[in-house]
Structure 1
Amino acid sequence: MQEFLNWTVDTIREDRLISPWLEEKKFEWTPIVARNITNILDKNYSVIVITDKERDWFLSYILSNINSSKLNRPFLPFYDFRSIFGYIDGVKSDDDITNIKDMLSISFPNGYSFWYIGKSQDNRANIAKISKNSFLWLLDEEKQDAINLKSNDEALDMKLLQMFRLYNKTLSAALFAQINVEN
């Protein structure tokens, strides 16, 4: 079983579809991804994916690829928040978020985490940012325990796709005990 940080670097270097920029983020990437994968595989958490409106395309991409039969792995519990709560853009207050969290606690008794991808100042981000278990890919904010990107980066879409590729490979490697994300 390979050490997670070394496996991440090796995978970035060996995969011709992942650019070297991601290797520079390895110390930011590995603890955040490790916590997320531990929540899924060890604690049986479900993952509720939310994006800002500009990244709705990426949400569709994630959900159509995360459980692809080509991966030859068990299906994992990833859900579109909009399919659980259709009034996502109507969430305005802390009471709304509290009510949503209550609903999700009932619906996902083993636990859940949000995976948010988008602008940090978007109203949708507030739903995910209040949870300590959230997996955050934030644009235009430097926040600890988040992957921080810039919305004005002309390569942003490609970076998101590369990050997803690495994340999906990491899920498979952890699931099949090739790596231990807990160390």
Structure 2
Amino acid sequence: MQEFLNWTVDVIREDRLISPWLEEKKYEWTPLVSKNIVNLLEKGASVIVLTDKDREWFLEYVLSNINSPKLNRPFLPFYDFKSFYKYMDNIKSDDDISYIKDMLNISFPNGYCFWYIGRSQDVRAVIPKVSKNSFLWLFDEEQQDAFNLRSSDEALDMKLLQMFRLYNKTVSSALFAEVNVEN
């Protein structure tokens, strides 16, 4: 079983659809992905995906591809946050956040984590940013424990697709014990 950082670099270099920019971010990428995949595969947590409005296309892409039958792997618990709470753009108070977290704790007794992709200052980022174990792909803010990008980047959409490709490969490899994401 290969060490996770080296495995990640090898995949980036070998996959012609993933650009080298991601290799430069390997020290940001690997600890975040490791934590997320450990929560998913070892702790049995569900992943609740949400994005800002500009990235809703990416949410659809993720949910359409994460459990594709072509992957020949078990389906994994990835869910659209909108299916639980359609008023997510109206979250205004700590009470709102508390009620939503209570609902999710009841719904997911094995735990859950958020995967948020979007602008850091968006109202939809509030709950993932204050929740432990969130997998954050944040735009326009440098935050520790998040993968930081710029919404003004002309190649942003392509980078998101490349990041998802690498993430999905990592999930499969970890699931089939080809890589230990904890090392």
Could you say which TM-score interval applies, normalised by the shorter chain?
Answer: over 0.9
Secondary structure, aligned partner of 2:62: helix
Please name the residue that 1:139 is paired with: 139
Per-residue CA shift, 1:70-101, capped at 9, x if unaligned? 00000000000001111111111111011100
Amino acid at match of 2:129: K
Whole-angstrom distance in 2 between the partners of 1:151 and 1:94: 28
The aligned residue for residue 160 of structure 1 is 160
| Gap regions ≥5 residues in structure 1 | none
Which ranges in structure 2 are unaligned for 5 or more consecutive residues?
none
CA-to-aligned-CA distance 1:26-55 (integer Å, 9 cap, x gap): 000000000000000000000000100000
Which residue pairs with 1:20 in the alignment?
20
Q: Which residue number corresponds to residue 109 of structure 1?
A: 109
Q: Partner amino acid for 1:174?
A: A
Whole-angstrom CA distance in 1 between matches of 2:153 and 2:90: 29
Code of the residue aligned with 2:50 in structure 1: it is I
Q: Which runs of 4+ in 1 moved over 4 A?
A: none
Indicate yes or no: 2:68 matched with 1:36.
no
1:115 partner letter: W
Q: Hey, what's the Cα distance between the residues in 1 that align with 2:13 and 2:95?
A: 46
- In 2, Cα distance between the equivalents of 1:162 and 1:173? 17
CA distance in 1 between partners of 2:2 and 2:178 (Å): 6
The alignment covers a number of residue pairs equal to 183
**1:56 aligned partner, one-letter code:** E
Q: Distance in 2 between matches of 1:93 and 1:24?
A: 38
- The answer for the alignment partner of 1:84 in structure 2 is 84
Structure 1 length-normalised TM: 0.99
TM-score, with normalisation over the residues of structure 2?
0.99
